[in-house]
Amino acid sequence: MKIPVTVLTGFLGAGKTTLLNRLLKAPEMAGTAVLINEFGEIGLDHLLVERLDEDTVLLNAGCLCCTVRGDLVRALRDLAARAQDGRVLTRVVVETTGLADPAPILQTLMSDPVVLSVYALDGVVTLVDAVAGQATLDTQAEAVKQAAMADRIVLTKTDLSDPADVAALEARLAGLNPVAPVLRAVAGAIAPATLLGLGGFTAEGRIPEVATWLTAEAARGHHHHHHHHDPNRHDAAIHAFGLVFDEPLPWQGVATWLEMLAVTRGDSVLRVKGLLNLEGKDRPVAIHGVQHVFHPPAMLATWPPGHDRRSRITFVLRNLPREVVEAGLVSFVTSAREAAETGRESGR
């Protein structure tokens, strides 16, 4: 029996890690290995997936659809070798970056001979954020491809969205993808059985562009055996970077700055994700911004083992320079520290 591989995709911040965390707790997901790929200098997802063991592999050398296709094949081969040594491996989930074009990933999974000898693509599960979905489909070609190539589409964040908007988004998705049922999951709650055992990917019945994308990918793979990064694959205006802070941060400063960023530059903020060491707190706090929405911060149970306690924030931005963001954050943090200091002095 071949080991099934599920590709979990969806635009930046759609809720992939949230869904994965829920899925991995289900008994039928025992023996699942997870391959996570992130866009940006500092991978955080491996810290946010609540089960970091040897079977969670971070592929963070770049975007899976560009530079690390070879890494995907290598990671799958390594997992297969470990399974031969007697480790349980019943399933693999590949979580792609939000900016991933699924075509090269599918092409790799469906054509690499070594991968095919052990694995079988089970299906493509695409998450679509009910709040940001329409704007994302308008502006990001990757998001359109992710939806069109799905075997199951899962609408997330319907709890934050107007029912009429959800219905309009569902209609648009049905047009982009006539074969994938559109399901819903709030905060990742969905029965695993609805996303597994999908029987493999086929272009049949889909919009004609899907076959074109896959054929183009096959040709591309053929010409460049080692598939170098193609800078035109992603919008050149989009860039990712990470900031690291050694000292604990004042929550007031960070929160005010996040609010300002969402209100004034929400269009430019594709994703902000951070793991913070806050003044006066023993446990780390995860922050998530997705376009105009800042989700409530979440306090995690513990610092991930073996991880230093510096705060890390990663950004994926469109047309917004790093210097502007960094200067803004530093100034809000400094003001909050000064205000706290003044408060302490006047209280003396």
> What values do phi and psi take at 287, rounded to 5?
-120, 145
Q: Is the dihedral of CA 98, 101, 225, 202 positive or negative?
A: positive
The answer to whether 285 touches 278, Cβ cutoff 8 Å, is yes
Which residues make Cβ contacts (< 8 Å) with residue 331, sequence separation at least 6?
Answer: none
3-class DSSP state for residue 130?
Answer: coil
91-95 and 32-37: which strand pairing?
A: parallel
CB of 304 to ligand GTP, least distance (A): 15
CA–CA separation, 72 and 36 (whole Å): 10
Interacting residue with ligand GTP among 3, 4, 15, 58 (CB under 6 A):
15
The answer to whether 135 touches 19, Cβ cutoff 8 Å, is no
Interacting residue with ligand GTP among 3, 14, 137, 169 (CB under 6 A):
14
Interacting residue with ligand GTP among 3, 4, 9, 16 (CB under 6 A):
16
**Two tokens, residue 293:** 């929405």
**Identity of the residue, 45 or 112, whose beta carbon is nearer to ligand GTP in the bound complex:** 45
120 binds ligand GTP (CB under 6 A): no
274 binds ligand GTP (CB under 6 A): no
Interface mask (CB under 6 A) for ligand GTP, residues 29-48, using x and -?
----------------x---
Q: Which segment (133-141, 155-163, 216-224, 239-247) binds ligand GTP by CB under 6 A?
A: 155-163
CB of 292 to ligand GTP, least distance (A): 13
- The secondary structure of 68-119, three-state, reads CHHHHHHHHHHHHHHHHCCCCCCEEEEECCCCCCHHHHHHHHHHCHHHHHHE
CA angle 163, 167, 170 (to 5 degrees): 135
133 binds ligand GTP (CB under 6 A): no
Interacting residue with ligand GTP among 156, 161, 177, 311 (CB under 6 A):
156
299 binds ligand GTP (CB under 6 A): no
CB of 30 to ligand GTP, least distance (A): 22
Phi and psi based region of residue 280 (left: phi greater than 0; alpha: psi -120 to 50; beta: remaining): left
CB of 329 to ligand GTP, least distance (A): 19
**Identity of the residue, 152 or 206, whose beta carbon is nearer to ligand GTP in the bound complex:** 152
145 binds ligand GTP (CB under 6 A): no
The answer to whether 286 touches 46, Cβ cutoff 8 Å, is no
How many residues lie near ligand GTP (CB under 6 A)? Answer: 21
Interacting residue with ligand GTP among 13, 43, 102, 192 (CB under 6 A):
13
182-185 and 152-156: which strand pairing?
A: parallel
The answer to whether 183 touches 155, Cβ cutoff 8 Å, is yes
Q: Which segment (13-21, 198-206, 239-247, 255-263) binds ligand GTP by CB under 6 A?
A: 13-21
239 binds ligand GTP (CB under 6 A): no
**Identity of the residue, 75 or 287, whose beta carbon is nearer to ligand GTP in the bound complex:** 287
CB of 348 to ligand GTP, least distance (A): 39
CB of 15 to ligand GTP, least distance (A): 3
- What does the DSSP 8-state code read for residue 201? -
Give rounded-to-5 percent helix, strand, coil for the chain.
Answer: 40, 25, 35
CA–CA separation, 61 and 71 (whole Å): 9
**Identity of the residue, 125 or 214, whose beta carbon is nearer to ligand GTP in the bound complex:** 125
Interacting residue with ligand GTP among 4, 98, 250, 284 (CB under 6 A):
98
**What is the binding site for ligand GTP (CB under 6 A)?**
10, 12-18, 45, 98, 156-157, 159-160, 186-187, 271, 273, 288, 290, 295
